[in-house]
Amino acid sequence: MNNKTILITVAGPDRPGMVSALAEVVAGHDGNWLESRMANLGGQFAGILRVEVNEARQEALLTAVQSLDSASLHVTLLPVEDAVAPTTGRDVELELLGQDQPGIVRDISRVLSDVGVSVQAFDTFLEEASMAGGMLFHAHAQLSVPTSLSTEELHERLQELSDSLMIDINLADLE
């Protein structure tokens, strides 16, 4: 059995049945739904999933998924190499909280990139700051930190940014 892995991304106005339609297409072509991330972002559905399918059924699956593409739903496909090199490093969790302001993600991601940290997962949201007024920016990330960089050193690098942006950043080793 020669299986191939495909990444499928979908985006469009959220409505009931979108995940079900994708699942029907995948299952209808004997595909195996391996993993996914899906969310409603501002009334729009956005998702990415990784599917494994027999090479003989791959073209039919791709055609069927592409048939879901319409003016309101956009679908993209990306065949991926089955042998993915594992990330090296330690898993570290990042939590961030502060007054919302433009550039927080850019500034944090620049520091992480500069020290060789890979972002494995990244979630953000805003909420009203009931006591202080304005909006609070929350971020949660799972990071792969090079073994040559201690969590304490990473925290020091981020703390410089934390002070200038007036945000709280917490790191925790996941192992």
Question: Tens digit of pLDDT for each residue in 54-72?
Answer: 989 988 988 888 888 777 8
Average pLDDT of the chain, as a whole number = 90
Residue 169 pLDDT more than 90? yes
90-173 has CATH 3.40.50.720 classification: no
| Mean pLDDT confidence for 46-58 | 93
CA distance linking residue 118 with residue 109, whole number of Å: 9
Dihedral over Cα of 40, 44, 45, 46: its sign:
negative
Three-class secondary structure of residue 60 per DSSP: helix
Across residues 35-55, what is the average pLDDT? 93
149 φ, ψ (degrees, to nearest 5): -115, 120
Proportion of the chain above pLDDT 90, given as a percent? 67
pTM for the predicted model, two decimal places: 0.80
Decide which of 3.30.1360.80, 3.60.15.10, 3.30.70.260, 3.30.420.40 is the CATH code for 3-80.
Answer: 3.30.70.260
Query: Mean pLDDT over residues 144-169, rounded?
Result: 93
What average pLDDT does range 107-120 have in this prediction?
96
Specify the pLDDT at position 84: 54
- What are the DSSP E strand ranges found in 14-88? 32-41, 44-54, 74-80
Kindly state the tokens that stand for 170: 């917490």
What stretch(es) of the chain map to CATH 3.30.70.260? 3-80, 90-173
